[in-house]
């Protein structure tokens, strides 16, 4: 319960790897995967997703790769998580109002209260803070 996914885990590892690189230098999916013992294909997908979301920059072709994006400093942990995994709710009903109950729901308010707190916490932490 309340676990991160591997995708996010790998993303964090990759971010730290890129932050540790000399400024502007590229690194590849292969390089990160090998040096941390991660499944390359899965990591590659995660990197592609991060590139699409402008967390990192991608350069194609041989001698291409990825580097950390400059605006990654501003991104919150909440946004980081949501860009990778979609809306961040402890229960699905937080967003799509598909209540699991027949109609006698008595936890909508509690769930929202708890979830708001969690989202608020992750909004206040930046990716930079968390990974530095």
Partner DNA sequence: TTATATACGATAATTATAGTCGTATTTATT
Partner DNA sequence: AATAAATACGACTATAATTATCGTATATAA
d(Cα 130, Cα 80) in Å, to the nearest integer? Answer: 11
* Eight-state DSSP code of residue 23: T
Contact 81, 88 (CB under 8 A): yes
Residue of 44, 55, 84, 93 that binds DNA (CB under 7 A): 44
Number of residues binding to ligand FES, judged by CB under 6 A: 9
d(Cα 77, Cα 83) in Å, to the nearest integer? Answer: 10
d(Cα 75, Cα 72) in Å, to the nearest integer? Answer: 5
Does residue 42 belong to the site contacting a copy of itself (CB under 8 A)?
no
Q: Which helix (H) or strand (E) holds 120?
A: helix 108-124
Does residue 102 belong to the site contacting ligand FES (CB under 6 A)?
no
Does residue 91 belong to the site contacting ligand FES (CB under 6 A)?
yes
Does residue 99 belong to the site contacting ligand FES (CB under 6 A)?
yes
Point out which residues bind a copy of itself (CB under 8 A): 1-6, 8-9, 12-13, 16-17, 20, 35-38, 77, 81, 85, 88-92, 100-107, 110-111, 113-114, 117-118, 121, 125, 130-131
């Amino acid at each position: 319960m309340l676990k991160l996914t591997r995708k996010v885990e790998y993303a964090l590892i990759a971010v730290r790897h890129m932050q540790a690189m000399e400024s502007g230098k590229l690194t590849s999916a292969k390089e990160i995967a090998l040096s941390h013992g991660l499944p390359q294909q899965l990591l590659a997908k995660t990197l592609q997703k991060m590139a699409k979301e402008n967390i990192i920059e991608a350069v194609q072709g041989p001698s291409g790769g990825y580097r950390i994006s400059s605006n990654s400093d501003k991104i919150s942990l909440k946004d980081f998580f949501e860009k990778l995994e979609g809306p961040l709710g402890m229960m699905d009903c937080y967003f799509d109002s598909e209540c699991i109950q027949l109609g006698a729901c008595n936890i909508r308010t509690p769930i929202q209260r708890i979830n708001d707190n969690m989202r608020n916490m992750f909004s206040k932490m930046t990716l930079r803070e968390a990974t530095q």
